[in-house]
């Protein structure tokens, strides 16, 4: 049990190896070390199980919480900000739960890699900005549940690369550059009852796969109608814009964003789709945003 401690200006705050049933709670961990070669992680766990990491306040380490080969563990109510790399970074860590954490202003955001059966519920990913930043990176993840989270003001809200059979529901994606970047390697994922508000691009992809499913999401860019007043749009919504596809392949095209020519191309693509996948759509778009 490691509780109610203050760790200042250490390379690594807490390191735990080959541990079981360990509680790390209510600690304040921060460093003023600025050299990246000397800076370590605030909480680093390796080859552990049945861990509980909660109510920690973490600032300015390399990774806030780093987990590798950590299973059946609970990470909740931590506040992690201004880390050089990731607020939370875990690899090869299965059957874990991440609840009510806040990750803000971190260099790259949060990275979830090479894991399965992960629950990420009611977390906040805010203001993680930069050329290679995102709120949440999902890399080679399968059979997970991502529900009730808030992705706000990130360069990319969610970057999914190699996601399989993930459920993303009742999340708020607001004020991001790209709300979701869904790579071609991701399949059989379901997006439902999410709010997409004020994002530059709601969805983008680098492939033509149509094996991801969108239903009953609220899109603030949707211009459809609801004649039977059941709260569901009568016309499917295609969230993938032509310019989002072009900029994914050619980032320099962002120079022409909001130009008159791009507006014309977008209108033509909506009428006669030629570049965006025809079935990449929300078949039941919500008319009103959800109270999440």
Average pLDDT of adjacent 10-residue blocks, the chain of 292 residues: 96 96 98 86 97 97 97 98 96 97 96 96 96 94 97 97 96 96 93 96 80 94 92 91 67 61 58 61 94 87
User: Residue 219's pLDDT is what?
Assistant: 97
Which CATH superfamily does the domain covering 2-271 fall into?
A: Single-stranded right-handed beta-helix, Pectin lyase-like (2.160.20.10)
Within 13 Å of residue 44, how many CA atoms lie on the same side as its CB? 14
User: Residue 279's pLDDT is what?
Assistant: 64
Find the helix or strand (DSSP H, E) in which 263 lies.
helix 260-271
Within 13 Å of residue 166, how many CA atoms lie on the same side as its CB? 28
Q: How far apart are CA 216 and CA 222, in angstroms?
A: 12
Length of the chain counted residue by residue: 292
Within 13 Å of residue 87, how many CA atoms lie on the same side as its CB? 30
User: Residue 184's pLDDT is what?
Assistant: 87
Q: How far apart are CA 173 and CA 22, in angstroms?
A: 34
Q: Which two three-digit tokens encode residue 185?
A: 């390697």
Residues pairing with 121 in the sheet: 99, 147
The owner of tokens 């459920």 is: 167
- In terms of C-beta distances under 8 Å and separation of at least 24 residues, what long-range contacts does 32-41 make, across chains too? 32/8, 32/60, 33/9, 36/62, 36/84, 38/11, 39/11, 39/84, 40/10, 40/11, 40/12, 40/13, 41/12, 41/13, 41/65, 41/66, 41/89
Q: Exposure string (b/e) for 206-241, b if CB count within 10 Å is 16 or more?
A: eeebeebebbbbbbeebeeeeeeeeebbeeebbbbb
């Amino acid at each position: 049990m490691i509780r109610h401690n203050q760790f200042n200006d250490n390379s690594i705050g807490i390191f735990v190896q080959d541990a079981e049933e360990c509680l790390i709670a209510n600690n304040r961990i921060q460093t003023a070390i600025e050299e990246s070669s000397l800076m370590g992680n605030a909480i680093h766990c390796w080859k552990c199980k049945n861990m509980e990491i909660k109510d920690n306040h973490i600032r300015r380490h390399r990774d806030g919480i780093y987990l590798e080969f950590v299973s059946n563990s609970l990470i909740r109510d931590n506040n992690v900000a201004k880390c050089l790399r990731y607020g939370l970074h875990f690899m090869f860590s299965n059957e874990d739960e991440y609840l009510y954490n806040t990750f803000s202003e971190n260099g790259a955001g949060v990275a979830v890699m090479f894991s399965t059966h992960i629950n990420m519920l009611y977390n906040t990913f805010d203001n993680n900005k930069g050329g290679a930043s995102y709120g949440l990176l999902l890399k080679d993840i399968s059979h997970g549940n991502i529900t009730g989270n808030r992705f706000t003001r990130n360069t990319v809200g969610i970057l999914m690369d190699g996601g399989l059979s993930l459920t993303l529901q009742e999340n708020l994606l607001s004020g991001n550059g790209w709300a979701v970047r869904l790579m071609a390697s991701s399949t059989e994922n379901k997006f439902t009852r999410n709010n997409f508000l004020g994002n530059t691009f709601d969805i983008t992809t680098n492939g033509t796969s149509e094996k991801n499913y969108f239903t009953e999401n609220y899109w603030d860019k949707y211009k459809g109608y609801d004649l039977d007043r059941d709260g569901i749009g009568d016309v499917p919504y295609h969230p993938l814009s032509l310019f989002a596809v072009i900029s994914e392949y050619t980032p320099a095209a962002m120079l022409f964003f909001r130009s008159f020519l791009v507006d014309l191309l977008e209108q033509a693509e909506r009428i006669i789709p030629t570049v965006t996948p025809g079935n990449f759509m929300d078949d039941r778009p919500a008319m009103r945003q959800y109270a999440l």
